[in-house]
Structure 1
Amino acid sequence: MELINFGFWVFSALMGGFVALNLVLIKRANEWYHISMVSRRIQCSLPPGDMGWPLIGNMCSFFIAFKFGHPDSFISNFISRFGRTGIYKAYLFGSPTIIVTTPETCRPILMDDAQFKQGWPKSTSLLMGKKSFLGLSEEEHKRLRRLTAAPISGQKALLVYHEFMKDVIVSSLDELSKAEKPVELLTEIRKITFQIIMHIFLSCESNPGPLIETMEKEYANLNCGLRAMGINLPGFAYYKALQARKNLVKILEDVIDGRKARKENNMIVEDKTDMVDLLMDVEDENGHKLENEQIIDVILMYLNAGHESTAHATLWATLFLHENPHYLQKAKVIDETLRVVNVSLFTCREAIADVSIGGLKE
């Protein structure tokens, strides 16, 4: 019996070693394949890093860090393994990727429009829409931003909604202060932010009710898919996000069609405080107005940009002020929050040609 047990453990150890060896070889082969694709046409060395597993790359460790652990641990792992170089190679969202983490390496990439363009994953661009900023050429991007910036975030627009924002925030915080049990602060801030944004964009349609609840639920599903693997199969977050986008587009199409019908019937409200109305009326220098698809994609894009960043910035500001109450007396609370923690996880750029940064190729 002892001989049988000994043989079993020896066999298990050999099999375990065989499997581990094969896994190492698979990772090495995957890295060799991707590096060989570019090494033949460049003179400089590629940055240090890890290309992960075939097909999925580093996405498993990325998701674990950002969804279940500490987001900084993903980059910290590269730093501990390859040193504090500020630039690493990886495989994320279905393509080989260069990660830059320091101001010195980020600055030339973010400021050089001749060498770099927007390079968001295809899955993210599909969720945000073809007519959003993510999928446009440089010239079209500038045009759309010029047309939409003032109606949405200009000084006049902010003054119109300041009182409403103040009332919603004060009443919501007052209600939370009366809660008999602890509340999840980020969840509550998200609800407050969503209510304010929906009022700004949809005006009378923004009163708390079935529409807002439906849109908030669909938006939550859409947001979960923005940084998920682009697997369009039932059961995956990306599939659910695509369905949520379709539902949101249908809701917004109905709103826009209703506004157009009112205008055709001369049922126009003189005091415009609604971003849908303003976006429908905005014209470029040639007298061209935005198409319905552009309006919808702009709304969804600004909703995503304003909702998550505002909620997380408010959360971090609250935590920092709680731990450092003396900063409450200073006027740079927001700037200090953004210096200490970045509310945007990352941004994406695509190199138009081979670029050397610090002697390393991108």
Structure 2
Amino acid sequence: MKFSSKKCELPPGDMGWPLVGNMLFFFQSFKDGNLGSFVSYFVTRFGEGGMHKAFMFGKPSIIITKVETSRKIFMDDDNFNRGMPKYILKILGQVQVGGFTKEESKRLHRLTTPIKSDLSLSSNYFDFANEIVKKSFEKLVAMEEPIDILLAMKRPTFEVLMRILIGDGVDHDLVDVLFEETIYLIRGCHGLPFNIPGSSHNRRLKARGAMAKIYQHILDERKVMIGKNKTRGKSNILLDMMLDTQDDDEQGKGFNDEKIIAVLVSYTFAGFESVGLVAATAIMYLQKYPHFLNKAKEEQEDIVKRRTSSNEGLNFHEIKQKKYLSSVINESLRIAIAKTIFFREASTTININGYTIPKGWKFLTFSWNYHLDPHTYVRPKEFNPSRWDDLEPKPASFLPFGVGPKMCPGANLARLEVSVISSLLSSLL
């Protein structure tokens, strides 16, 4: 990449209709579960150059369709910002608080480091994640009526997320309301952002307001509790860690209440949907293809035989040993996360691949375009964990959690949750 002051020479493309741009076609493709048709329109009509201009989410944009270009952009933290659409940032509360400074972003990055660390996952998070999922499975087994697998998988993964964000001492009724409102918040993101009474956007704004009130209530209660317990030890709960920054607030680097709530809503939004979806996908395909399930069970049985005691349960070390289970999870991630969109925004006018893109333009890439690419994955729409035995995808051709410095901080935690769910499932079926 290099800077350029020349007149902008944009890639070919279609800016769509006035005001709405290409969004009507995009939302219809998304609703139909066929984002490929949206991307194919640009490639078929304007060639396979890998960059196409469009008007998306209220902004002039560049759609990226080639792995090499995606990686180049998403690894460049100096010339590109996150680029999330403004209406989503508004829903998450980040517009209202004025966004986050670089110092605040760095501090938040440091606070979430334990979630990214294998050692921390094993010592701080594995036991309660395992316990939450196990109890949830016991309830499901006892049920006689039909089960909505996707909803059933979302609940335990949500409870694990809540344990990390706010701890386990929160009123269960409040957690229930947070669960319901989060579902509305996410559902609303699949519609046009027009705040009309009765619209999905209007409902998600109400959901965000309800979540903010609950988090403020929890925040106020936590402050009272902290005030009574002056000698409390170090916490691995994100809410507590952010509150600690208010005590040693130097040069305005601490998080105020509004920004803490914005972080909690944002992390709830980001961490809720995908894990439950991947877990449900794994369960669906393992039930559909018994030979894959049998291979997972054989691996589980081999590991159980090596336990020193018959009373031992699943542990973190066993999870790390499960190579075939890891392949099942990779394949589930590849298929389930095929509708994810990744955003960046040019922080300066920049020249890339011979085109000059003005400052402020969005860059979008779709995991669908890479996860279902037949050049990388043979028969890409088939579920086949064995493809991962000797598969080494090109960098950025497997994007379940993004790529580069701003990739999802909860990637390892998400894999851990799905691993626990799949391990317990294979022992039950």
Q: Please report the TM-score for the alignment, with normalisation by the length of structure 2.
A: 0.65
**What is the 5 A alignment of 1:196-211?**
196-206=160-170, 209-211=172-174
Aligned AA for 1:114?
D
Do residues 244 (structure 1) and 207 (structure 2) align? yes
The equivalent residue for 1:171 is 135
Change (3 A) 1:198 1:259: same
Percent of pairs identical after alignment? 33
Aligned AA for 1:353?
T
Aligned AA for 1:129?
G
Partners in 1 of 2:6 and 2:183 — Cα distance?
43
Aligned AA for 2:20?
I
**Per-residue deviation, residues 207-260 of structure 1 (Å, max 9, x unmatched):** 6x4212211121122223345433223122222222221211111111111111
The equivalent residue for 2:260 is 295
Partners in 1 of 2:145 and 2:126 — Cα distance?
30
SS in 2 for 1:114: coil
CA contact (8 A) 2:226 2:232 kept: no
**What is the 5 A alignment of 1:2-81?**
42=7, 44=9, 46-81=10-45
The equivalent residue for 2:413 is none
CA contact (8 A) 1:131 1:294 kept: no
CA contact (8 A) 1:128 1:134 kept: no
Partners in 1 of 2:339 and 2:122 — Cα distance?
22
Partners in 1 of 2:190 and 2:68 — Cα distance?
26
Change (3 A) 1:294 1:327: farther
Instruction: Tell me how far 1:109 sits from its aligned partner.
Output: 0.9
**What is the 5 A alignment of 1:1-362?**
42=7, 44=9, 46-130=10-94, 135-146=99-110, 148-150=111-113, 152-154=115-117, 155-156=119-120, 159-206=123-170, 209-266=172-229, 272=235, 274-282=237-245, 286=250, 289-322=254-287, 323=289, 325=292, 328=296, 330-331=323-324, 332-333=326-327, 334-339=329-334, 342=337, 345-362=340-357
Change (3 A) 1:319 1:74: farther
Change (3 A) 1:116 1:199: closer
CA contact (8 A) 1:172 1:192 kept: yes
**Per-residue deviation, residues 58-83 of structure 1 (Å, max 9, x unmatched):** 11122122224323332233333334
Long gaps (5+) in structure 2: 300-322, 358-429
The equivalent residue for 2:414 is none
SS in 2 for 1:88: strand
Instruction: Tell me how far 1:360 sits from its aligned partner.
Output: 3.2
Partners in 1 of 2:97 and 2:80 — Cα distance?
15
Please list every run of at least 4 consecutive aligned residues from structure 1 whose deviation after the TM superposition is greater than 6 angstroms.
131-134
Aligned AA for 2:342?
T
SS in 2 for 1:356: strand
Partners in 1 of 2:226 and 2:170 — Cα distance?
20
CA contact (8 A) 1:119 1:350 kept: yes
Aligned AA for 1:299?
L
Long gaps (5+) in structure 1: 1-39
Change (3 A) 1:284 1:158: farther
Partners in 1 of 2:284 and 2:263 — Cα distance?
32
Partners in 2 of 1:274 and 1:139 — Cα distance?
21
Instruction: Tell me how far 1:273 sits from its aligned partner.
Output: 5.9
Aligned AA for 2:210?
N
Q: Which has the higher contact order (CA 8 A, sep 6+)?
A: 2
Change (3 A) 1:340 1:215: closer
Instruction: Tell me how far 1:166 sits from its aligned partner.
Output: 1.1
Aligned AA for 2:355?
L
Q: Considering only CA atoms, is the larger Rg found in Structure 1 or Structure 2?
A: 1
**Deviates most, 343-352 or 57-66:** 343-352
Change (3 A) 1:168 1:114: closer
Say how many residue pairs are matched. 320
SS in 2 for 1:262: helix
**Deviates most, 272-281 or 335-344:** 335-344
CA contact (8 A) 1:151 1:275 kept: no
More helix by share: 1
**Per-residue deviation, residues 109-166 of structure 1 (Å, max 9, x unmatched):** 11222322221111111122228999334443223212x2135554436523322211
Partners in 1 of 2:190 and 2:103 — Cα distance?
27
Aligned AA for 1:309?
S
Q: Please report the TM-score for the alignment, with normalisation by the length of structure 1.
A: 0.76
CA contact (8 A) 1:49 1:89 kept: yes
SS in 2 for 1:348: strand
Partners in 2 of 1:195 and 1:252 — Cα distance?
15
**Deviates most, 281-290 or 88-97:** 281-290
Aligned AA for 1:186?
L
CA contact (8 A) 1:276 1:295 kept: yes
Instruction: Tell me how far 1:98 sits from its aligned partner.
Output: 0.8
Aligned AA for 2:30?
F
CA contact (8 A) 1:194 1:307 kept: yes
CA contact (8 A) 2:51 2:63 kept: yes
- Root-mean-square deviation over aligned CA pairs: 3.3
